[in-house]
Amino acid sequence: MSNIQAGLTSEGPIQDKVKVAYTILAEQSCCGPSENSKLGNRGYTPEELIGLPESVLALSDGCGNPTALGAMREGDTVLDLGSGGGIDVFLAARKVGRTGRVIGLDMTPRMVESAQANLARLGLDNVEFKLGEIEHIPLAAESVDIIMSNCVICLSPDKDQVFREMFRVLRPGGRLAIADEVALKPFSSEEKADPEKWCECVTGAVTEAEYSNMLREVGFENVYVKQIHRTMESSSRVFSAFISGAKPLRL
Ligand SMILES: C[S@@+](CC[C@H](N)C(=O)[O-])C[C@H]1O[C@@H](n2cnc3c(N)ncnc32)[C@H](O)[C@@H]1O
């Protein structure tokens, strides 16, 4: 039995199991080397990774590069949902500059500790990491220009609530820059009950139509889901995608 399997056998809600899985990942990745080829496959260029410590690269566990969506401008306030070790937060911090601000939010205490240690190594003053759930974002309404996220929303058992919270904290005209796993067809309840596959970002994924309908229902416009590549490592039932959208300027 793998470490993750052992940590996942306990009774309880799926969110507790996700926390266990990512605590284990944070502990295992802390000291190991990163695979730069894997980062290249996810859309990070070698140039943009220059200057990021190994401890940031080793913890990267996303499915795309949301900072490449081109939505960030100098001075923006950016929120990263499920920031992990902080790779996208640190890349976004360069784009928004000293007049901007980037906030990383993650519910796994061990991940937030790692991200804060990485922040101390980089010495940036326009970045902060918060402990909390993306279903209950600890930020004021209309306080954020861009929400990004990388392979996290598929892990939430209550995506409607996540999307409502995203809509609440975004300013009018605010934009989404999301990389996530999307299901080719819906997973059955039995498949969704497999905690290991859920925590691997597979069976919590919803289809492109479900994803975009949920975003539109809470009020987002210009919603667009674009396939990046099929995620061969984990399952042929999901693909990685960029999801964009915007909160209307006038409600
Ligand atoms: C697959 S990792 C991706 C981490 C990071 N975005 C990256 O690209 O490296 C998923 C992260 O999301 C966090 N997470 C999962 N569900 C969450 C939730 N409901 N609220 C906050 N964080 C969550 C986990 O703790 C973990 O750090």
Q: Is 210 exposed, middle or buried (0-12, 13-18, 19+ CB in 10 A)?
A: middle
pLDDT (tens digit, 9 = 90+) per residue, 45-75?
999 999 999 999 999 999 999 999 877 999 9
Give pLDDT, residue 49. Answer: 95
| Residue 64 φ/ψ, nearest 5 degrees | -170, -165
Question: Can you spell out the DSSP letters for 175-196?
Answer: EEEEEEEEESSPPPHHHHT-HH
Q: How far apart are the first and last CA of the chain?
A: 52
Atom 12 (ligand 1): residue with closest C-alpha? Answer: 82
Q: How far is the CA of 251 from the centre of ligand 1 (A)?
A: 30
Instruction: Report pLDDT for 168.
Output: 98
Ligand 1 atom closest to the CA of 26, numbered from 1: 27
Interatomic CA distance for residues 208 and 191, integer angstroms? 18
pTM (predicted TM-score): 0.94
- For the chain, residues with pLDDT lower than 70 are 1-10, 30-37, 229-235
Stretch (H or E) spanning 238: strand 238-246
Q: Which of ligand 1's atoms lies nearest the C-alpha of 61?
A: 9
Q: What integer pLDDT is reported at residue 39 of this predicted model?
A: 87
Q: What is the pLDDT of residue 1?
A: 42
| Contact by Cβ (8 Å): 238, 231 | yes
pLDDT at 38: 79
For position 7, what pLDDT does the model report?
62
Quote the CA–CA distance of 138 and 43 in Å, as a whole number. 30
Question: Which among 15, 18, 91 is the best mutation to test ligand 1's pocket, defined by most ligand atoms within 8 Å of the CB?
Answer: 18
Q: Whose CA is nearest to atom 20 of ligand 1?
A: 133
Cβ < 6 A, ligand 1 pocket: 15, 18, 22, 60-62, 82-85, 87-88, 106-108, 111, 133-135, 150-152, 155-156, 201
